[in-house]
Amino acid sequence: MSTSLPGRWVLITGASSGFGAAGARAFAAAGARLLLGARRTDRLAAVAEQCRQAGAPAAHAHALDVAQTASVNEFLAWVQTLTPRLDVLVNNAGGALGLDPVAQGKDADWEGMLQVNVLGVLRMVRAALPLLVEQPGSMIVNVGSVAGRAVYEGGAAYCAAKAGELQITRTLRLELSGTGVRVGTLDPGMAETEFSLVRFNGDAARAAKVYEGVEPLTAEDVGEAMVWMASRPAHVCIDELVIKCTDQAALHKVHRRPRA
Ligand code: NDP
Ligand code: 8X3
């Protein structure tokens, strides 16, 4: 039997845009209660409102910076003012900064990527785990990437970060054995969100070029996959799910249509 989602408490990091926001709306449509975190609180509030309109019995938003242990701990303290238990934790906050080869790499970019994509996941799991254990069918979904499984020029730090996320997920799978808490990685390929805009520091033309001639994944495709993973029967754990658009046969092999 599927794990039913109505009334379940779902915490999503990086819920102010892209996959996190779409996942929040998809869980809301399934009747879940949402706890949303990110740094842009105005955007978060709008997503919370969309969740209520989509059918969530509750949708709460609070500032969260997963790069700061104090912020993560403060966020979990806030969560506990609303609920003593969590059913689903989606560690989605993350992204890439720059596309420089290692020779031109910037400390701030490297440190930023490792802080959010790697240490952010560790911090969130450590803080949220006490609320997840003993909940039948509870699940941690970590958002990784095809970049954690293959590499590309200019991607050293981001690929390393997402490979780190993959290994954290695999380690947790062992450490949580017997607790009933499921853990899996959701690894998308190219998807048109704010990802490339952030990577290229707001350069919209450069970001748009990434998706030129391609029909990429949408945020909704990935949000639905989050819900699917979390709603499998409690005895089923989706350990690793890779999802790519049909045009992306492999990380470097992307079918692009010529401009009309
Ligand atoms: P977006 O840029 O649209 O979303 C990223 C989200 O992460 C935002 O909500 C942002 O919120 C949040 N975030 C970033 N840094 C922090 C932080 N320090 N603390 C809390 N939240 C943070 O991109 P996507 O939706 O595409 O990215 C979501 C995840 O998917 C990321 O982990 C990304 O690496 C991964 N991914 C993306 C792919 C793609 O092609 N789009 C493919 C594979 C994986 P705010 O700025 O408000 O804090
Ligand atoms: C995002 C996918 O290929 O741009 O994780 O790194 S890629």
Q: Which CATH number fits domain 9-254: 3.40.50.720, 3.90.190.20, 3.30.420.10, 1.10.3720.10?
A: 3.40.50.720
258 pLDDT tier (thresholds 50, 70, 90): confident
Q: List C-alpha distances in Å: 118 to 17, 44, 206, 247.
A: 19, 22, 26, 29
- Average predicted confidence (pLDDT) for the chain: 97
Quick check: 145 pLDDT over 90? yes
Ligand 1 environment, Cβ below 6 A:
13-14, 16-20, 38-40, 43, 64-67, 92-95, 116, 143, 145, 188, 190-191, 193-195, 198, 219
Name the percent of the chain in helix, strand, coil, to the closest 5: 45, 15, 40
CA-CA-CA-CA torsion sign (11, 14, 18, 21): positive
Length of the chain: 260
**22 touches ligand 2 (CB under 6 Å):** no
Q: What is the pLDDT of residues 5-41, one digit of tens each?
A: 999 999 999 999 999 999 999 999 999 999 999 999 9
Q: What is the pLDDT of residues 150-168, one digit of tens each?
A: 999 999 999 999 999 999 9
Please state the domain extents for the chain: 9-254
Average pLDDT of span 139-150: 98
CA-190 nearest atom, ligand 1? 40
Quick check: 253 pLDDT over 70? yes
Q: List C-alpha distances in Å: 104 to 77, 98, 209.
A: 40, 10, 22
Q: Which residues contact 2 (CB under 8 A, 6 or more apart)?
A: 231, 232, 233
Count of alpha carbons within 13 Å of 109, Cβ hemisphere only? 21
Q: What is the pLDDT of residue 260?
A: 65
Q: What is the pLDDT of residues 182-215, one digit of tens each?
A: 999 999 999 999 999 999 999 999 999 999 999 9
Q: What is the pLDDT of residues 99-130, one digit of tens each?
A: 999 999 999 999 999 999 999 999 999 999 99
**147 touches ligand 2 (CB under 6 Å):** yes
Q: Which residues are catalytic?
A: 158
**Cα angle 223, 41, 118; round to 5:** 60
Q: What is the pLDDT of residue 14?
A: 98
159: CA distance to ligand 2 center in Å?
Answer: 8
Q: What is the pLDDT of residue 3?
A: 85
Whether the Cβ atoms of residue 86 and residue 11 lie closer than 8 Å to each other: yes
